Amino acid sequence: EAGVAQSPRYKIIEKRQSVAFWCNPISGHATLYWYQQILGQGPKLLIQFQNNGVVDDSQLPKDRFSAERLKGVDSTLKIQPAKLEDSAVYLCASSLGVRARSMDGYTFGSGTRLTVV
């Protein structure tokens, strides 16, 4: 079974520039998550999709971050304009659903490491 694919692996941008990350979840996984992991911290949920609808985006800084999941499959996360404090690893994860017994299929991608200078 193919895993969660993310690209790019690394990105370095200057502050105030824009950047986009892409995620392709495991086939058949209805739920997709974007997490931000700052160095030395655990991942923090930014946004959760169920198919192509948003379930939770309460911690997404909507003045600069946006995300979409077209057709309920691939997803993109965008930052515009970027700030220094956005430097982090952005992890995408997917799961079959949200019921407890499907949570052990909760799989993370390798992440995109963003450095804002």
Asked if 27 touches another protein (CB under 8 A), the answer is: no
Q: Residue 44 Cβ, how far from another protein at the closest point, in Å?
A: 7
Asked if 44 touches another protein (CB under 8 A), the answer is: yes
Nearer to another protein, 19 or 91 (CB): 91
CA distance 17 to 9: 18
Asked if 8 touches another protein (CB under 8 A), the answer is: no
- Select from 108, 94, 97, 74 the least CA-distant residue to 32: 94
Contact with another protein (CB under 8 A) among 56, 83, 84, 117: 56
Asked if 52 touches another protein (CB under 8 A), the answer is: no
Q: Residue 40 Cβ, how far from another protein at the closest point, in Å?
A: 7
Q: Is the Cα torsion angle 39, 24, 7, 81 positive or negative in sign?
A: negative
Asked if 100 touches another protein (CB under 8 A), the answer is: yes
